[in-house]
Amino acid sequence: MIFIETFMVALQAIKSNFFRSALTMLGIIIGVSAVITMLAIGTGAQDRIESQIDELGANRLSISSSRTFFRGVSREQASLEFSDAVALKNRSNYLEEVVPILNSRNQIKYANKNINSQLVGTTEGYFKLNNYEISTGRPFSDQEDLDKARLVVLGSSLPIQLGFTDPKNIINKQITVRSIPFIVVGVLDEIGSDRNSPDEKIIIPINTAISRVVGASTLALIDTTVEDYVSLEVAMVDIERVLRSEHKLLPGDANDFSIYDQKIFLETREQASRTFTYLLASIAGISLLVGGIGIMNIMIVSVTERTREIGIRMALGATRFNILMQFLIESMVLCLIGGILGIILGFIMSISLANLANWVVSVSIESVILSVLFSISVGLFFGILPARKASNLDPIEALRHE
């Protein structure tokens, strides 16, 4: 009962100085909203990376060209060629799928619409390997690739950029890539904002890309999947054997290619994202501490202003503990209200970022609970000094105070 009465007295004191209380809470509101937003961005990024890790599976290896060195000096980057992918497909014993990837930026045009987009030359396996779904139409086939067919699959955002509000209406329409006519056979499902998202890419058969568009067979990457019964280590040794032979490397020569497990790469990226999130949240947490110092200063001023009130309460029977609890609860309530308002503002900011910047954000219940507990802790920690000052006042001197 005494606690409830003390709580109500503290609440009344906050209401009677509403404007000052609002300014006092501002630091807490900004700090909590910043923490919530930073954690939401970080958690969203981690969720996205974890989703990518799950999509990749445990049996995927990627091969890229790498710089070679002679006497400590970097030489020109060695090329990974389409012939390497063919050799892996024909000579490797343990690969289920081999998907060559050629990248090039090109102008695509339809009617009076002209946009710049990244072109991907690849095989039918590219869609399955990356779990890309076709929203309308179909992918091109391996036979159409061998026939060097001028077919194209568009990323989800390209039909709109080319003037089609409904992606279905662009199917079987003719667009030009580098002034070369292509027939649109499919449109991908939307993937979302990500560095490797195909939403703004055009995908064509790799033999068509080499012979009709790019005029070169240099690859950006070769993606592979390993047979289920084989370990990644065994498959990597086999890939190395084939490519060293294909590149005519002598014993003792360094590999001019790199083989890596994309799952490990993404897990490393996830760890970096988590570390960066904690760093941002820590920086945002500093504003909470600044807000706590502001609350302590205002509470000390409040004690000075209410010295006579404290004396009257003591004269009417309030104990030093009652006075201590009154100002401590007042400080904690200020921080708690500021924390709740900060959480609401953090939600709004996170949703705004998701909608305006197309970022993936995720507000976790853990971050909300952490923010509430931290707000109360700030109120408790920074409220002790003013509360002790109030409880240690001499009643007689307090009554004399004007």
- What tokens does 222 get? 């070769």
Which of the listed ranges 138-142, 283-287, 344-348 does the model predict with the highest average pLDDT? 138-142
Which of the listed ranges 237-251, 255-269, 310-324, 372-386 does the model predict with the highest average pLDDT? 237-251
Burial 213-252 (b: 16+ CB within 10 A, else e): bbeebebebbbbbbeeeeebeebbebbeebbbebbebeee
Residues 6+ positions from 354 with CB-CB distance below 8 Å: 44, 360, 361
| Number of C-beta neighbours around residue 185 at 10 A | 20
Residues 6+ positions from 48 with CB-CB distance below 8 Å: 192, 194, 360
Percentage with pLDDT > 90 across the chain: 35
**Do residues 393 and 46 lie in contact, with contact meaning Cβ atoms separated by under 8 Å?**
no
- pLDDT tens by residue, 231-279: 888 999 999 999 999 999 999 888 989 898 866 666 666 677 777 777 7
Distance of alpha carbon 40 from alpha carbon 350, whole angstroms: 7
Distance of alpha carbon 120 from alpha carbon 153, whole angstroms: 10
Average pLDDT of 292-310? 80
- Please report which residue ranges of 306-319 form alpha helices under DSSP H: 307-315
Can you give the pTM of this predicted structure?
0.61
Choice among 35-39, 271-275, 320-324 with the minimum mean pLDDT: 271-275
Q: What pLDDT was estimated at residue 69?
A: 42
Answer yes or no: is pLDDT of 211 > 70. Answer: yes
- Please report which residue ranges of 147-246 form alpha helices under DSSP H: 158-161, 206-208, 232-246
Choice among 32-36, 93-97, 118-122 with the minimum mean pLDDT: 32-36
Distance of alpha carbon 378 from alpha carbon 274, whole angstroms: 25
Average pLDDT of 143-157? 96
Phi, psi of 241 (to 5 degrees): -60, -50
Distance of alpha carbon 218 from alpha carbon 189, whole angstroms: 28
Answer yes or no: is pLDDT of 71 > 50. Answer: no
Count of H helices and E strands in the chain? 13, 14
Residues 6+ positions from 158 with CB-CB distance below 8 Å: 108, 115, 117, 187, 199, 200, 202
Which residue type occupies 226? V
- pLDDT tens by residue, 108-117: 999 889 999 9
Answer yes or no: is pLDDT of 73 > 60. Answer: no
Q: What pLDDT was estimated at residue 55?
A: 64
